[in-house]
Amino acid sequence: MRIIIFTTGLFGKTGICTWVQNFVANMHTEHEIIVLSATFSDYMQSELSKYAECVTYDKDITYDCDIYLHNFQDNALKPNIHARHTFILLHCNYAKMRHSNTFDRGIKYIAVSEDSAEAMRKAYKIDCVAIEPFHVAHIPSKVLRLVSATRLTTEKGYLRMVKLAQLLKANGVRFQWLVFSEYEKKIADIPEFINMGAMPNDVILDYMADADYVVQLSDHEGYCYAVHEALSVGTPCIVTDIPVFQNVIVNGYNGYRLPLDMQNINISEIVNNIPLGYEINGKSTDTLKDKWGRLINT
């Protein structure tokens, strides 16, 4: 059976692109599929060509098929596409959007859920059937969750942060990096960086506690509060190899120390061997409070 899927543009970041990818991947062994579009991105053409023929639409050419699937948002059916059966794909519950003059009772419609199909049948008295989305086989890759609380200046390690992000990307590591800062500095053109701005300390601690690592890559520190608080809530840290951290963080224990020149970094070890045990000099909060109490009461 020959199937034509028509949409005006396929660029890789829209719902119709996801649907078309899943459809051709699941149906190509039983059917000859042609994806007809005015425009393809290079990515979409490469992906779809694994399973279907990608054809740039030409209004002066006649196309014949058994089944014609037409994306609703492209509105009018193309008169030069001839099919035994025609269906229009509805990717939203259009009954809530009141397209009152759009739906043709002589055409069959396919909706994304039974609720949407039933709503369309009631609102417009059209022939609408529900087809649930395909289940997609996917083995997820680890997404590394990083948090920093920093002023985003050079001495606070901003350029090293950019370098570490570049190394992660070069090694194919997916990551998200939240940065809490009172500085409204635009972070380098790396979309995985998200500047969260200044937030209350208890909010930042929640994000720290849920992160894989807290990152602090300064040139020098008397003692970094962000690292202290991260270890206090059980999160390992990625820091620079400066004296203040050498007794607190040993590679693989409490985190990793990176050279100041950011050379010869074992990204695979950092990603695949996230430390699980934590200790800050073996002292509990009560012990530290007692020590402070004795100091200030002398």
Q: In this model, does residue 281 exceed pLDDT 60?
A: no
How high is the pLDDT of residue 224? 78
Structural domain of residue 45, as residue ranges?
2-130
How high is the pLDDT of residue 44? 94
The reply to whether 52 and 153 lie within a common domain is no
pTM listed for this prediction: 0.69
- Section 174-203 average pLDDT: 90
With contact defined as beta carbons under 8 Å apart, do 228 and 217 qualify? Answer: no
How high is the pLDDT of residue 98? 60
The residue to which tokens 């059966």 are assigned: 85
The reply to whether 197 and 123 lie within a common domain is no
The region of weakest confidence among 33-37, 81-85, 130-134, 157-161 is: 130-134
Q: In this model, does residue 7 exceed pLDDT 70?
A: yes
The reply to whether 275 and 205 lie within a common domain is yes
The reply to whether 50 and 11 lie within a common domain is yes
The reply to whether 125 and 6 lie within a common domain is yes
With contact defined as beta carbons under 8 Å apart, do 3 and 66 qualify? Answer: yes
Dihedral-angle region of residue 152 (phi above 0 means left; psi in -120 to 50 means alpha; beta otherwise): left
Give the residue among 269, 213, 261 at the shortest CA–CA distance from 241. Answer: 261
- Section 189-212 average pLDDT: 93
Residues sharing a CB contact under 8 Å with residue 1, sequence separation 6 or more, in sequence order: 30, 31, 32, 66, 67
- Section 200-227 average pLDDT: 90
- Section 225-243 average pLDDT: 91
How crowded is the C-beta side of 152, counted as CA atoms within 13 Å?
A: 20
How high is the pLDDT of residue 222? 64
Domain-located, residue 223: yes
pLDDT class of 75 with cuts at 50, 70, 90: low
How many domains does the chain divide into? 2
Q: Residue 69: which CATH number?
A: 3.40.50.2000
Domain-located, residue 177: yes
The reply to whether 182 and 210 lie within a common domain is yes
pLDDT class of 188 with cuts at 50, 70, 90: confident
How high is the pLDDT of residue 16? 86
- Section 50-70 average pLDDT: 96
